[in-house]
Amino acid sequence: MVYELDNSEAVEMKHIISILLENEAGALSRVAGLFSARAYNIESLTVAPTDDPSLSRMTLVTTGTDEIVEQVCKQLNKLVDVVRLVNLTDDVHVERELILIKVKAENEQRDEVKRIVDIFHGHVIDSSDTTYTLEVTGDSEKIDAVLKALEGMTIIEVVRSGQLGMGRGAKGIM
């Protein structure tokens, strides 16, 4: 009857949640505040206005047991600013993340870095005498793989966008 009793199945999983919310001051802090107040964790969070500037689209990645994530979704749905929420994990969907990597690239390293970028279908988007700045997009696994491939190099800085997600097929979130 109680969670504690069926703990055997209580595995923590990563969930990717897509949220359409009013593009209003404070909406983002309501979402973020909910996570800190209820001790849920946020792995990544991206937000920006949509084609309709009165709406923002947010993609949020969290980990937890099914029960916790169900509560997370219910509590998010309760926020007055949230127009629509979909747990993408429940269905087929696409995920993308973008990473920018500034890496040391001198002498023969310059070719090596270029080769790695090509393998991951990325681009060099800036360069200096001693560095390249790379851009790669893909799902999280691919982004992790790029970083692994560059392990032998000297990485100066990295910025990841956090995951974006969208359901597959013809239907939109509304």
The site for other proteins (CB under 8 A) is made up of 1-5, 21-22, 25-26, 29-30, 33, 37, 67, 70-71, 74-75, 77-78, 80-83
| 42-46 own/partner pairs: CB under 8 Å, 24+ apart | 43/14, 44/160, 44/162, 44/163, 45/162, 46/161, 46/162, 46/163, 46/164
Q: Phi first, then psi: what are they for 172, rounded to 5°?
A: -95, 175
Nearer to other proteins, 44 or 71 (CB): 71
Least distance to other proteins, CB of residue 74, Å? 4
Q: Which residues pair with 119 in a beta bridge?
A: none
Nearer to other proteins, 67 or 126 (CB): 67
Least distance to other proteins, CB of residue 161, Å? 25
Q: Considering all CA atoms of the chain, what is the largest pairwise distance in Å, rounded to the nearest integer?
A: 65
Least distance to other proteins, CB of residue 118, Å? 45
Nearer to other proteins, 1 or 92 (CB): 1
Q: For residue 151, what are the contacts with CB-CB under 8 A and spacing of at least 6? A: none
Nearer to other proteins, 22 or 135 (CB): 22
Nearer to other proteins, 82 or 117 (CB): 82
Least distance to other proteins, CB of residue 165, Å? 20
Question: Measured between alpha carbons, how far is 15 from 17 in angstroms, rounded to an integer?
Answer: 6
Q: Report CA-CA distances (Å) from 28 to 31, 46, 79, 110.
A: 5, 10, 11, 41
Question: Measured between alpha carbons, how far is 162 from 45 in angstroms, rounded to an integer?
Answer: 6
Least distance to other proteins, CB of residue 52, Å? 11
